[in-house]
Amino acid sequence: MTLNNFFVLFLRCAYFLLPLLALSYNTSFAQVEQEDTLTYEMDEITVIGTRAEQRIIDIPYSVFRVDKKELPFGKKMSARDVLADVPGLFLQSRYGSHDLRVSLRGYGTRSNSGARGVRVLQDGFPQSEPDGETMIDDIDFTTLAGVEVVKGNLSSLYANAPGGVINFTSDLLFEQSYLGTISQVGSYGWLLNGVKLGLQNPANRLLFSYNYSNNDGFRDHSSEYRHLANAIYEAYPGHTSSLTILASYLNGISRQPGPLTRAEFEDDPFQAYDLAESQDFRRIAKKGRLGIRYKTRFSEDRNEVAITGYSSVKELVRVDNLFYTIFTRYSLGSQLSFTNRSKISGRENSFTAGMDYAYLAGPVTEFDNIGGSRDISVAKEFHENLNNIGFYLVDHFQVFPGRLDLLLTGRFDRNSFRRDIRIPFGSTDSSKVFQKFSPKVGLNYKVKPWIALYSSYGISYEFPALSELANTPFSSNIRYTINPDLGPQKSYNFELGVKGNFINPGWKFFPKAFIDITYFHYRIQNEIIPFVINQQTYYRNPATTNRDGLEIGFKSHPFESVEWAVNYVFMNFKYDDYVGTVYRPSGITVEDYTGNTVPSIPKHIINFILNYELEISETFEGLLQWDCDYIDRLYVNDLNSETSPSYFYGNVMAGLNFTVGTTNAIAYFAVNNLFDKRYVGFININDFNGRYFETGEPRRVSFGLRLKQPL
């Protein structure tokens, strides 16, 4: 992006924010003249931000919630379809499916798929594996009531969460029992059919869903299908107690077209890498998950205890250019927390202490890949396991009632890794232990009851995942099966922001407004970075990185039926000190990347959403939506020798919500990438052969219908 273009974008953003400045002035005046007409949306509660119930306006975090009213409309192929408009969240889809890279403030960019450095939950239950890796593949996005994204360093509350936490919440608050169906069809063979059952009485609630989806894919060799079942049950055995049970099952396969060189991308962006077809690159996943949580309050609701247990079994088959690999993962975990709410010197104080334990283990068996089929004999077999135990403390103290809040958090984590190779070396064992303490302090000052300034500073650690700990041929001790040179990365994190949210139904112009502006500065030491030796990816800690960023989120209702939102993200991520060894067929060289830009991170992201709500009658309403995004260019490697160009795309959607007799129906029609732009949707960072580019989704038309019949 040129300086002139950036200046134009800045002026446009300023133009969008001018009504808010006028609104702030009008609000101050209105409070003098008509104080009784102004009300505030101050009672939104978050548990994720502090692991205890707190009002969002009172905590020093940036919290974004995906609006429930938009979730029933549009295709629900992956997490991208519900998270695309969250400021600061950058999503890269490999070929338009659920195989998604989730990056928040730069955390997660080194992952080839899923989330890394961002903790993912479903209804408060861990979706992330104990080592921090997350594949968001067994959540039914058609049953969500909302998504809560808490941005910033949360490593003092959750393991491996320096980027933040994402919590998907199920739609349990239905008014009456019902049976529902959902059908979606679209371009490139997209098909989803499912059923949903909701049962409720004053003491119990159950939500069950099953769906089957199929996608031929817009690239060669990119088809997939998936069977997915989700269930959540909540019981209220007492006035102050609740029991929650969550279960899910996934069975699916996705073929992978592989990354392209620039020449291949420019010639035909929808072709597959020839080796991906001949070796049949694919991923087969089977997964079952179960979680149970019991919460109770006592002593006049001043104390709360929560006990959680969960487990999962997963079998993953990954077929790449060299190996046919079978992973079996058994995991279990538990969580225990105690919260006390009391007064100290007449001021409200909330104190929480908790413990998390997680265990992950299972064998990994590698066969040579012979044309997409596994060889007869085992090439390598090893067993991996991880133990994580963490203890955390949270204290939220009201320094000046109604004005200033202090939040102190700290967490100690101990991660123990072990890798035992049985074939071909008989039995060779390696183990490694990381243990660190992550503290954080935050202040939240309410200028008005509806607007707050906040700031925080903390230290965080991100431990390597099991898949990142494989030893390299050039490590300091090649006899180990775990890389002895790889350790956790350490971050020093500072944030400063302002947020506000209010409603004034007496105003005809701008009756509602929401704003969240955050500046952050992160300094990361020993950053974990991928590199390639002989087409195999390994990891090392060679760099110190500075990350400076600005996130602006603004949403308002300029008129009663119109809502518009503008999100702008600026990210300037640079290597402050980075000298790396490069392994090429021609030889080994040492290159200095100091001062270069971190790859796969756009400097500018702009998102604009315009909603028009139709209210024709009490039983007939609709939603028209225009959603567009601008993504700045991205570097594809640490050398910054190539870039993926910037791109702009827009989406339109029209939806109707109506009732005929006792049956409720929701129908939508949508066009994604309306102008059929060609762009790179996923960057394969630091690829050995220059295969950096995976094509973004072309124009896709989709239609859906939901039916709900009360029981």
How many residues make up the chain in this entry?
711
Q: How far is CA 127 from CA 47, 119, 147, 278, 577, in A?
A: 16, 8, 14, 34, 34
pLDDT at 426: 64
What is the average pLDDT score of the chain? Answer: 88
In the predicted structure, residue 424 carries a pLDDT above the cut 80: no
pLDDT category of residue 501 using cuts at 50, 70 and 90: confident
- Residues with Cβ within 8 Å of residue 650, at least 6 apart in sequence: 626, 627, 628, 629, 673, 674, 675
Greater model confidence, 170 or 78? 170
pLDDT > 90: percent of the chain: 65
In the predicted structure, residue 151 carries a pLDDT above the cut 60: yes
In the predicted structure, residue 119 carries a pLDDT above the cut 50: yes
Q: What's the rounded mean pLDDT across residues 343-358?
A: 94
- Residues with Cβ within 8 Å of residue 434, at least 6 apart in sequence: 413, 414, 415, 417, 461, 463, 487, 488
Segments making up each domain of the chain, as ranges: 38-710
pLDDT category of residue 425 using cuts at 50, 70 and 90: low
Q: What's the rounded mean pLDDT across residues 524-532?
A: 90
CA 410/CA 299 separation, integer angstroms: 26
pLDDT category of residue 188 using cuts at 50, 70 and 90: very high
In the predicted structure, residue 636 carries a pLDDT above the cut 80: yes
pLDDT at 288: 95
Q: What's the rounded mean pLDDT across residues 72-86?
A: 84
Can you give the pTM of this predicted structure?
0.91
Q: Over the stretch 562-580, which tens digit does the pLDDT of each residue have? A: 889 999 999 999 999 999 8
pLDDT at 589: 87
Q: Over the stretch 507-517, which tens digit does the pLDDT of each residue have? A: 666 677 889 99
Q: Over the stretch 587-608, which tens digit does the pLDDT of each residue have? A: 888 999 999 999 999 999 999 9
Q: Over the stretch 362-382, which tens digit does the pLDDT of each residue have? A: 999 999 999 999 999 999 898
CA 631/CA 604 separation, integer angstroms: 6
Query: In one letter, which amino acid is 678?
Result: R
In the predicted structure, residue 10 carries a pLDDT above the cut 50: no
pLDDT category of residue 40 using cuts at 50, 70 and 90: very low
DSSP state of 271: P
Q: How far is CA 93 from CA 76, 86, 96, 406, in A?
A: 14, 16, 5, 39
| In CATH, 38-710 is 2.40.170.20 | yes
pLDDT at 101: 86
pLDDT > 70: percent of the chain: 92
Q: Which tokens is 268 given?
A: 């035909």
DSSP 87-115: TTEEEEESSSSS-EEEEETTBTTT-SSEE
Q: What's the rounded mean pLDDT across residues 624-638?
A: 94
pLDDT at 556: 87
pLDDT at 415: 93
Q: Which tokens is 134 given?
A: 């997350």
In the predicted structure, residue 6 carries a pLDDT above the cut 50: no
pLDDT at 113: 66
Q: Over the stretch 645-670, which tens digit does the pLDDT of each residue have? A: 999 999 999 999 999 999 999 999 99
DSSP 127-174: -S-TTS-B---S--GGGEEEEEEEES--TTTSTT-SSEEEEEEE----
Q: Over the stretch 250-283, which tens digit does the pLDDT of each residue have? A: 999 999 999 999 999 999 999 999 999 999 999 9
Query: In one letter, which amino acid is 664?
Result: N
pLDDT at 19: 39
Question: Which of 71-75, 166-170, 322-326, 384-388 has the lowest average pLDDT?
Answer: 71-75
Q: Over the stretch 660-699, which tens digit does the pLDDT of each residue have? A: 999 999 999 999 999 999 999 999 888 878 899 999 999 9
pLDDT at 239: 86
Q: What's the rounded mean pLDDT across residues 601-619?
A: 91
- Residues with Cβ within 8 Å of residue 660, at least 6 apart in sequence: none
Which residue pairs, CB below 8 angstroms and at least 24 apart, start in 656-664?
A: 656/620, 656/621, 656/622, 657/72, 657/620, 657/621, 657/622, 657/623, 658/619, 658/620, 658/621, 659/619, 659/620, 662/709, 662/710, 663/707, 663/708, 663/709, 664/707, 664/708, 664/709
Q: What's the rounded mean pLDDT across residues 341-347?
A: 92
CA 42/CA 23 separation, integer angstroms: 18
Question: Which of 30-44, 92-106, 452-466 has the lowest average pLDDT?
Answer: 30-44
CA 692/CA 640 separation, integer angstroms: 12
